[in-house]
Chain A
Amino acid sequence: MKPGTLSTFLARGAIWGFIVLELIFFSIAGQFFSVSDNAFLDPANMLLLLKQSAPIGIIAMGMTIIMINGNIDLSVGATFALAAVVLLDSMTWPFMAAMGDWAIPLAWTFALLTGAVLGAINGLIVWKTGVDAFIVTLGSMLGFRGLVFMYNGEQPTSHLNWTLVDFAEAQFLGLHTATWFLLGVTAVIWVVMHRTIHGRNAYAIGDNREAAINAGIRVGPHMMRNFVLIGFLAALSAVVFYSESGSVNPNDGQLYELWVITAVVLGGTKLTGGSGSVISTLGGVIAIQLLRKGLGHIGADTETVNLVIGLILIAVLFLDRQLNVKGKEALRT
């Protein structure tokens, strides 16, 4: 066995092992402390869990590519909110209202376009100015949030369309619409990362940007495409979520970037870029949602979740450094 094989295996499988541990723990603890009569492993409960992880999960898929690139995007929460506002507000425009249910695909298109354009703005700035993505998206996190407020003041934007609600609450083969979107996005991004040149370039750029440039990869446009993608996915997440809820507050989506990054890091993606996997990110997303639901199930206060997730994130970082040979160098600041 080559050195590092075991540690790589452990690092890859760790998130799924963690999920299994969580399931066992909450099932057993649920017997004693549960505040509800249902078992934690109740299928309906698990299906609901998948549905609830969709908003964070869909964005996390985009964040995985961004972080494999060695970048980061802090503006996804604000993009999420702006796309939601556009989605709900556009359906009340007179010409849209006159179209009946045909307004729905158009409103979706507007919202998704909004996300893609916001992502393109980020990407273009990163590409053309060479300012670090952390600073660029830190700025646009404020800026996009400002746009949300300028759009509709501090009022919530609401519009309920029952066709849309029915669609969002529908179940196909037992899974909710949102779950299908999450799985679909995961599958598409997996194909992109492992079966296309774009995916290969993403790893190459994150691993060694200089080498990638020398190998003839056009790094700037590549990164810009990824920012467009994550903007699009943030909007898609908003579309899926707000089709059902029908009302958005201007503060919605705040701290989403932190949840998303937590999920991606739990899934084993390195901040320094060059490694990471979409499937593990899905694991990270599910692990977080399990923790939230599980702690609620055994009657812990919701506030405990923040404490536990923060400490787990740090513990994972520590264990990862101990287990993963490559991580030992990469994670040193």
Chain B
Amino acid sequence: MADVSDKRPATSETGREDSKMAGLSKASVGTFLAKQGILVAFVLFIIGFTIANPRFIDPDNVLGVVRSSAILGVMALGVTFVVISGNLDLSVGSMMSFSTIVVLDLHDKIGPALAIPAMFAMTLCLGAFIGFLVGYLRLNSLIVTLGMLSAIHGLTLTYSGGQNMDIADKSGTWFSVFGQGEALGIPVPILMFLALAAALGVILAKTPFGRKVYAVGGNGTAATFSGIRRARVVFACYLISAFCVACAGLIQASRSLGSQNTVGQGMELEVLAAVILGGASLLGGSGTIFKTVIGVLILGFIQNGLLLVGLQFYVQYVVTWIIIILAVWLDIAAKRGRLWSPIA
């Protein structure tokens, strides 16, 4: 802590930073902000946008936002496991395109009741392959999933022959229930998102497996020495990620009942942004499902809020950029006890 008081005069160039540093030096406030800062930011956002446009907290609007965030959110849940275990998954976007195309194609060939399990099986195979490479062969996850991003994209295009996939009879299928249905007045995608979040949240926080995921990501060597089979845990994390991707693909396919080959392109990085925004460290070992959900909602509400105050769609990219950097910066600043980086 001596370091903090030494450096404080040098770093407090403006009053705002000064107050931030003062807050950080008080352990309790600092810890609270470090742990719940993203939640505080979320609440501030909601208040700000509501003042700008009261329609923002209209229940219909809120449901609409959560519903359109559900696909991204479901994928982010799985990626949270992978990131906590200390790895990355850049292949979820093209994997989502794959599962969407596959389920749409099989829907007309073998019927929805068989198409859905078949699609889940194929997507899980891809996840198992990545899990094998990263877990058992111990290859670098960034490069492996980068390679798989490209490979699965190629696989999807080969499968579909580059054509858009459409269901022949769009009005007469019960398949649309996953994307367009409602239960108890709540859209099914939201219910799926919440159910998955609850289930995975319990698995991560309350089971031995969840603790192993944190252990492997926090300190892989120590985890190995304490008898945890690292490879098996990493493998399972990629399977969970693939399962979530399959669910996202199901929602996507069912919502539009037709799709391009590139429907998930670029989503891997948005998903990662949501997970990071939720406070998971890319080094592994930290993050929770709840915070990821908050991260997803922040991205969704920013997008919606900016549209409601009359800004163009793409302004959200710039705002997201600033928020990601600020969130991660303040997070690590709180951990190291000073705002500016110590590297010379």
Contact flag A146-B150 (CB < 8 Å), given A127-B343, A129-B325: no
Stretch from A171-179, A225-233, A302-310 forming part of the interface with B = A302-310
Tell me if A271 and B321 are in contact (CB < 8 A). no
Tell me if A261 and B134 are in contact (CB < 8 A). no
Tell me if A218 and B325 are in contact (CB < 8 A). no
Tell me if A140 and B321 are in contact (CB < 8 A). yes
Chain A residues near B152: list those with CB within 8 A: 310
Taking the closest CB of chain B, its distance from the CB of A308, in whole angstroms, is 7
Tell me if A132 and B87 are in contact (CB < 8 A). no
Contact flag A307-B318 (CB < 8 Å), given A131-B328, A218-B344: no
Residue of A nearest to B230 (CB): A333
Tell me if B157 and A131 are in contact (CB < 8 A). no
Chain B residues near A139: list those with CB within 8 A: 273, 320-322, 324-325
Stretch from B16-24, B105-113, B188-196, B309-317 forming part of the interface with A = B309-317
Chain A residues near B290: list those with CB within 8 A: none
Taking the closest CB of chain B, its distance from the CB of A24, in whole angstroms, is 23
Tell me if A301 and B146 are in contact (CB < 8 A). no
- The secondary-structure label for the interface of chain A is helix
Chain A residues near B220: list those with CB within 8 A: 333
Residue of A nearest to B314 (CB): A149
Contact with A along B320-342 (1 / 0, CB 8 A): 11101100110011001000111
Chain A residues near B138: list those with CB within 8 A: 321, 331-333
What is the CA–CA distance of A271 and B133 in the complex, to the nearest angstrom? 17
What is the CA–CA distance of A262 and B158 in the complex, to the nearest angstrom? 21
Tell me if A310 and B151 are in contact (CB < 8 A). yes
What is the CA–CA distance of A312 and B154 in the complex, to the nearest angstrom? 13
Tell me if A261 and B146 are in contact (CB < 8 A). yes
Tell me if B144 and A317 are in contact (CB < 8 A). yes
Contact flag A306-B329 (CB < 8 Å), given A147-B318, A150-B314, A311-B147: no
Interface residues of B in 135-167 (CB under 8 A from A): 137-144, 146-155, 157-158, 162
What is the CA–CA distance of A309 and B146 in the complex, to the nearest angstrom? 10
Residue of A nearest to B156 (CB): A303
Interface residues of A in 138-162 (CB under 8 A from B): 138-147, 149-150, 153
Chain B residues near A321: list those with CB within 8 A: 138-139
Tell me if B137 and A318 are in contact (CB < 8 A). yes
Tell me if B155 and A128 are in contact (CB < 8 A). no
Max chain B CB contacts within 10 Å: which of A219, A304, A306?
A306
Residue of B nearest to A310 (CB): B151
Tell me, yes or no, whether B282 is within 8 Å of chain A by CB: yes
Tell me, yes or no, whether B62 is within 8 Å of chain A by CB: no
Chain A residues near B137: list those with CB within 8 A: 318
Tell me, yes or no, whether B272 is within 8 Å of chain A by CB: yes
Chain A residues near B276: list those with CB within 8 A: 135, 138
The residue from B139, B146, B273 contacting A331, defined by CB atoms under 8 A apart: B139
Max chain A CB contacts within 10 Å: which of B265, B318, B333?
B318
Taking the closest CB of chain B, its distance from the CB of A146, in whole angstroms, is 3
Can you list 26 contacts pairing A with B, beta carbon distance less than 8 Å? Answer: A128-B341, A129-B333, A130-B336, A139-B322, A142-B320, A144-B321, A145-B314, A146-B320, A258-B149, A262-B146, A301-B162, A303-B153, A303-B157, A303-B158, A306-B157, A307-B150, A307-B153, A307-B155, A307-B158, A309-B151, A310-B152, A310-B153, A310-B154, A314-B139, A333-B140, A333-B220
Top-8 shortest CB links A-B: A310-B151, A143-B321, A146-B317, A130-B341, A307-B154, A303-B157, A306-B154, A149-B314
Enumerate chain A interface residues (CB-CB to B < 8 A).
74, 125, 127-132, 134-136, 138-147, 149-150, 153, 209, 213, 218-221, 254-255, 258, 261-262, 265, 271, 301, 303-314, 317-318, 321, 331-333
Not counting A139-B273, A139-B320, A142-B320, a sample of 20 additional A-B residue pairs whose C-beta atoms are within 8 angstroms of each other reads: A129-B340, A129-B341, A130-B329, A135-B276, A138-B269, A146-B317, A150-B315, A213-B343, A213-B344, A262-B146, A265-B143, A301-B162, A303-B153, A308-B154, A310-B149, A310-B153, A313-B143, A313-B147, A317-B139, A333-B134
